[in-house]
Each structure stands twice: as structure tokens, then as C-alpha cells.
Amino acid sequence: MSTRADQPTASAPLITATGLTKRYGRTEALRGASVELHAGEILAVTGTSGSGKSTLLHCLAGIVRPDGGTVTYAGEHLGELPEARLSELRRTDFGVVFQFGQLIPELTALDNVALPLLLAGTGRAEAQRQADSWLERFGVRGQAELRPGELSGGQSQRVALARALITGPKAVFADEPTGALDSLSGERVMTALVHASRESGTAVLLITHDAQIAAYADREVWLRDGAVHSAATRFTVQEAARHAD
């Protein structure tokens, strides 16, 4: 099942997060989280519900500004950028995929995928041509004229992935992209994502609670109580917590 590849990560990181903190009311979602994402790698961030995984992704993608710490992308500090620049990065350099796809219900699958190119100024015919190619790559070309309400969960996620990748982003942030899918649909989605990442050299930050999905990644880290740990220490930490109770 796994499509891991032995890719070097010795080069300078594409994205670096250092000492991130984020609080929502009295809840500390992140407490000094630090992580690096390298070009071309697939990094899985695992952890229990409420451990801060989604908040970490939102900070790295420039969707949420952390209260403390820094996120650096290609030499730019995301926390210091105006919203216009962050929006531009999310249109061009970053792709984001959420658990339920968040496709626009009024648009067909083809137009959902073409939308990022249209927003960037690409002509409609060319945008649809590229969108059609991406739908074919993800095995959902036959559903091009269907609207999201007519798609299965797995089909919706593959359309969402095609939309995230159509602009040739440097990084894709996938937040539990298989969390609402059965195991077979989840494997199809992950296979398509891995193949697309390998072909384009796109870095992928994958948020998941599923060990089988994390196995598709090149590297895994574990988030516990808002802090990032090496995956190798996961069970040691769990055992320590269990003994402390």
C-alpha cells in the first residue's frame, strides 16, 4: 500500500515553523510547535483529536496568524505579510484541501477545478482544458459536469485535490483529506495525491489520525498538547502519560 520514497531532506526547508503558539480563549491549541517541510516531501502530522493538528496547518498555510513564533516560507515571514500577499500565496504557491473538500456547490466539478486558474487571469477555455486534464489524472473525468451534491465522498476529495494542484503549487496542505471516506476511497485519494506530488515535486503536509494514511508519507511527526514530537517518540510519550495517570 505505502508509496514512500527515500527522498533527501538535507536541503534548506521550504517552510519552517518555529515556536508557534496559538490560543483560542482559554484553550492553548499550540504551545511552542516547531516543524519543517522540505520541497518534494510528504510529511504526515498525526495526533489525537484536539492536539492542535488543524491549527498548525492553518498557521503554516497563512490562514491563521499565530500568537507567537514564526512561519517562514521561501524567506518570507508569513506573520509579517499583509492579507493581500497571503491571499496571493494561497492562489499561487499553496494549495489547501479540507476534510470535506469545500467545493463550491453551484459549480460543476470541471469549473471547481478551473476556478483557481480563472481567478489568476487564465482564459476560460485554457482553464477548462487544464481542469479536464487534472480530472482525468485523478480518475474523475467522467464526473466533470456533475455538481458536488452529485459526487461521492471519494470523488469530491479527488476533485478538491485536482483544484489544489492545478496551479502547480509549491506546497499542498491536506487536512484529514480521507477522514470522511471508507478505506478503499481513502487509498484511492492518497494514491492520487502521492503520484501528483511525485510528478510535480510539490511538498505535502498531511494531517491525519490514521496510521495507514500516515504510512504514505516520507516522514511523520506527532503532535501532542500543541507541541511537535518525533514520531519515533510517540509510544514512549504515550506510555509515560499512561504511567503518570
Task: Domain of residue 66: give its range.
Answer: 15-244
Tell me the pLDDT tens digit for each residue of 165-180: 999 999 999 999 888 7
Task: Give the CA dihedral 129, 132, 134, 139, nearest 10 degrees.
Answer: -160
- 202 pLDDT band, cuts 50/70/90, is very high
CATH assignment of the domain containing 226: 3.40.50.300
With respect to residue 214, please indicate whether it lies within any of the assigned structural domains.
yes
Tell me the pLDDT tens digit for each residue of 112-156: 999 999 998 999 999 999 999 999 988 899 999 999 999 998 899
Tell me the pLDDT tens digit for each residue of 9-63: 457 899 999 999 999 999 999 999 999 999 999 999 999 888 899 999 999 999 9
For residue 177, the SS3 value is coil
Closest CA to 207 of 70, 96, 71, 67: 96
With respect to residue 61, please indicate whether it lies within any of the assigned structural domains.
yes
Chain mean position to CA 54 = 10
Count of domains forming the chain? 1
With respect to residue 6, please indicate whether it lies within any of the assigned structural domains.
no
Point out which residues pair with 221 in neighbouring strands. 45, 230
Model pTM?
0.85
With respect to residue 109, please indicate whether it lies within any of the assigned structural domains.
yes
With respect to residue 121, please indicate whether it lies within any of the assigned structural domains.
yes
With respect to residue 94, please indicate whether it lies within any of the assigned structural domains.
yes
With respect to residue 201, please indicate whether it lies within any of the assigned structural domains.
yes
Tell me the pLDDT tens digit for each residue of 67-91: 999 999 988 999 999 999 999 998 8
With respect to residue 88, please indicate whether it lies within any of the assigned structural domains.
yes
